[in-house]
Structure 1
C-alpha cells in the first residue's frame, strides 16, 4: 500500500500550542533561507584633493642644531689613574690651561731612573775618553800597538753612543712626566666629559670634548631628494627655533659622503656668517633654502600613510568611487604639506582626511576636492 501525503487540515479551533509551533518553524526556515539578502557595503565619506603641480621655487625648511666648526677630543698620551679634572661641561678654557692630571708617581720614577742612567753613561764616556787619549799619545811615541789603540777608540765611540741613548731616554721620561698633565690646545668651551677623577684611563681615551673658539655651524640631516633639488652654492637662512627674529646666513661647508644607515639622510654642515650671540652651541635652529624652480606635486601632510614599509597615499578611482593604496616617493616634508617626487600625476584624486578607516576597494563618498 503506497503512502499518500495527507492534506493539511486547518481548523479554526486548532489548539494554541500547535499554532505557536508552526509560527516558530516558519521563522526558523526564513532565517536559514539562502536567499536572504547580504548587508550592503558601507560607503565612507572622505575629504579629497585633486593633484596639481606647483609653480616651483618653493622654500624648504629643516630643523637642526648649532655646533662648533672645530671640535677636538682632549686625551692623555699615556695611561694612568686620573687624580684631578679641573674643567667641566660648559666651562671656558684658554690655550695651555691644565684641565686634568694623572698620578705622576710612575712617570717621575722613570725620570729618576733615566737621569741615573745618563749619569752612569757620562762616567763611562769620561773613562773611555781618557783611555783613548793615553793610547793615542803612546801610539805617537811608539809605546803601544795599533790594535790596542783601535780598541780604545772603539770603546770611546761605544761610550758616546750610550750617552746619546741615555739622553734620549731622559727626554722620553721628561715627556712622560709632562704628559701626566692634560692641557687645552686652543681656547674654547667644554661640551662633554669622558672620565671622572679616580678612574684608570687609557692613552687616547677622551677626557674632555672641546669646542674650539671660532666659527659655528648649523647642522642638518637632509634627505637625498632634497639635496638634488637644492641649487649650487645656495644661501641658507638660519633662525633660532624659539626666537625667529635671531637670524644668520650661511653657506654649505660640508656634505657627508655617505648617508646615515638608519635615517638614510645626509649630514650637512652650514658655516654661519657672524651668528648672533644668542645662537649658543646646541641651540635648535630652522634652516630655509629656496629650491630650484622645477614644478612639484604637493599633498596635505594628513594624506600620507604607509604601505609595504614605504610612504603611500589613498587614491580614488572616479569611475567606481573606490580607493586603492599607492606608494609614493617623498621629495621633502614641509610644515603642512608633503612634496612628492614620484608616484602621483596631475589629476589624481587623493584622500586628504579619513585615511585611517579605509581599506582597498572600499567605496567612498567625496566631501570636497580642490588643489
Structure 2
C-alpha cells in the first residue's frame, strides 16, 4: 500500500514537471491566427424603371366654373312725377332703344305746351305784320332784328314746354328683354322711380374667377369653350380680365362673350369654361411618379449619371388623370416612374428603361 502510494505521487510529480518544463524551455506558444470571416456575398443594386423627361412647349388647359350674366342691364326710371296712365310693356317682351315703356299723366305740362303753342302763333302773326310795315317803310329796318328775336324766343318756349311734357314718357334705355316691371297703371310715381328693368342678352357673358397663379396665361381675345348646365355648348372669346383681385377669394374676374342672337341662353345659368392658357415649357410624366421629399416638397426622383438617386422639386403645370405636366426638370433627366417610393436619396440603383421594364 505504501509503495503504491509512493509510485502514484511520483507519477503525478513527473507529469507536472513535464508540463512545466514545456513552458520554461520552449517559451510561450504562438497565438493562433483568427480564422478568416466568411465572405459576404455583395447585394445587387435595386432596379427601378425610368423614363426620360423631354420638356416642350405645352398649352395648358384650365376649367373654371361660373355663370352667365347679361352683357348690359339698365333701368327705365321716371324723369318727372305723375300717375301711370299707360304701361306699354310686360315682362319678357323685347324692346328697342327709345321704345315707349310707360306714360305719366300731368295736366300742368299739357297746359304749358298749349300756352307756349298759342304764344308762338301770336308771335308769328305779329312778326309778319311788323315785317310788312318795315317793307312799306312805316317801321325802321332796325326793328327787324327785334322781331326775329321775339319769334325765336316763342319757339324756344314751346320747345321747352314740349321737352317738359316728354319727361312724362318713359322710354327703353337700351335694346333687350324686359326683365321686371314693378310699376302698375294708376300708380303715382316720383322722379327717379323704377318703371322697368331691361337686360341685353346678346352677347351673353360667362363670368368666371381664375387663380392668381394662372392669371398670367389668360389674355383678352383668347378662345374659350363654354358648356352650360342645361347642356348647351358655345365657343366664346375672353373680353375682360380684371386687374384687381377679389378681397375674399384672391381670384380675378374673367368675362367671356358668347353669341346669343336668338336669346336662347338665359341670364344666371351655371356654366363651365375651358380656357387654353399661354404655352410654357413642361415635361409629361406619369401621375404615379410624384412623391414627397423628407421636407414635404412635391417632386420627382431621378437617377443621375452615376446611377444614384436624387430628388428634384417640380411645379405642377397641368394635372391630368394619368399624365401630368411639370416644370423644373432638367432636359433628358431619367425620372423614376416605378420604385421611387422604395429608394432614398443617394442610393445606388440599377435604372431600367420603362419600355423594357414593362415587358418583364
TM-score using structure 1 length: 0.52
Task: Give the 5 Å matches for 1:23-172.
Answer: 57-76=59-78, 78-83=79-84, 84-93=86-95, 97-134=99-136, 136=137, 152-172=140-160
Q: Name the counterpart of 2:170.
A: 182
Judging changes above 3 Å, is the alpha-carbon distance between structure 1 residues 273 and 209 closer, same or farther for their aligned structure 2 residues?
same
How far 1:248 sits from its partner (Å)? 0.9
1:254 and 2:240 are equivalent in the alignment: yes
Post-superposition offset of 1:252: 0.8
Q: What residue in structure 2 maps to residue 305 of structure 1?
A: none
Q: Where in structure 1 are there 5+ consecutive unaligned residues?
A: 1-53, 138-148, 297-314, 319-330, 337-371
Structure 1: distance between partners of 2:183 and 2:262: 33
1:202 corresponds in structure 2 to: 191
1:265-289 superposed Cα distances (whole Å, 9 cap, x missing partner): 4332212146886532221111111
Q: Do 2:201 and 2:267's aligned partners in 1 also have CA atoms closer than 8 Å?
A: no
Please give the secondary structure, in 1, of the residue aligned with 2:141: helix
Consecutive unaligned residues of structure 2, counting only runs of 5 or more, are 1-54, 284-292, 297-315, 322-360
* Alpha-carbon contact 1:234-1:251 (below 8 Å) kept: yes
Q: Distance in 2 between matches of 1:280 and 1:266?
A: 24
Q: Which has the larger radius of gyration?
A: 2
Query: What is the CA-CA distance between 1:264 and the residue it aligns to?
Result: 4.6
Note closer, same or farther for the CA distance 1:286–1:106 as it changes in structure 2 (3 Å cut): farther
- Give the match for residue 44 of structure 1: none
Return the alpha-carbon distance in structure 2 between the equivalents of residues 275 and 154 of structure 1.
62
SS of the aligned residue for 2:135 comes to helix
1:153 counterpart SS class: coil
Per-residue CA shift, 1:252-271, capped at 9, x if unaligned? 12334544555554332212
Q: Distance in 1 between matches of 2:238 and 2:256?
A: 4
Among 206, 218, 235, the residue aligned to 2:223:
235
CA distance in 2, matches of 1:74, 1:119: 35
User: CA shift at 1:164, angstroms?
Assistant: 1.2
Is the counterpart of residue 269 in structure 1 residue 258 in structure 2? no
- Would the alpha carbon gap of residues 115 and 291 (structure 1) be closer, same or farther in structure 2, given more than 3 Å must change? same
1:291 corresponding residue in structure 2: 277
TM-score by length of 2: 0.53
- Give RMSD over aligned pairs: 4.5
- 1:308-355 CA-to-partner distances (Å, cap 9, x unmatched) read xxxxxxx9857xxxxxxxxxxxx999999xxxxxxxxxxxxxxxxxxx
**How is 1:12-23 mapped onto 2 (pairs within 5 angstroms)?**
none
State the 1:64 CA deviation: 2.0
Cα 1:255/1:206, change in 2 over 3 Å: farther
SS at match of 2:142: helix
Distance 1:257 1:196, change over 3 A: farther
CA contact (8 A) 1:82 1:103 kept: yes
Q: Please say if residues 89 and 191 of structure 1, whose CA atoms lie closer than 8 Å, have aligned partners that are also in contact.
A: yes
